[in-house]
Amino acid sequence: MNAMTVEALYQQGFEYRCNGQFDLARSILQQALQLNPQHADSLWQIGLIQGFEGDFEGSVETLQKVVRAHPTHQEARYDLAMTMMMLGMMDEACAEFREVLRQNPNHEKALQQVVYCP
């Protein structure tokens, strides 16, 4: 299988996730990960689905996996920070927001959130 197949699966899974069809999205994204276990965006989307379904701890774990394997994945790092913030993990969240801004000083959403950090 080639990268186009993984990308096509990712796009399909992403669309299902955006439409709130989480079970279908997760299934498609897991297929993409079977073809390419290193596909950061597929794992990122699964982490978001976990959060949308209320599994915030699972979401944090999944998003941390993405960030550990792909330290420059700014959107996964931002979503990790937002999830941490929701869980009251302010110090950890602020550290993630600051890392996003270190990588990209113009990241608009992180700039909006970091104002809540001490």
What mean pLDDT, rounded, does the chain reach? Answer: 96
- CA–CA distance, 108 with 7 (Å, rounded to integer): 27
Written as six digits, the tokens of 85 are 């913030």
- Report pLDDT for 5: 92
pLDDT band (50, 70, 90) for residue 1: very low
Angle at 116 between CA 87 and CA 57, to 5 degrees: 15
> Would the pLDDT of 17 be above 70?
yes
Q: Give CA–CA dist 18/94, Å, rounded.
A: 27
CB 23 within 8 A of CB 50: no
What pLDDT sits at residue 3? 52
Distance CA 101, CA 27 (A): 33
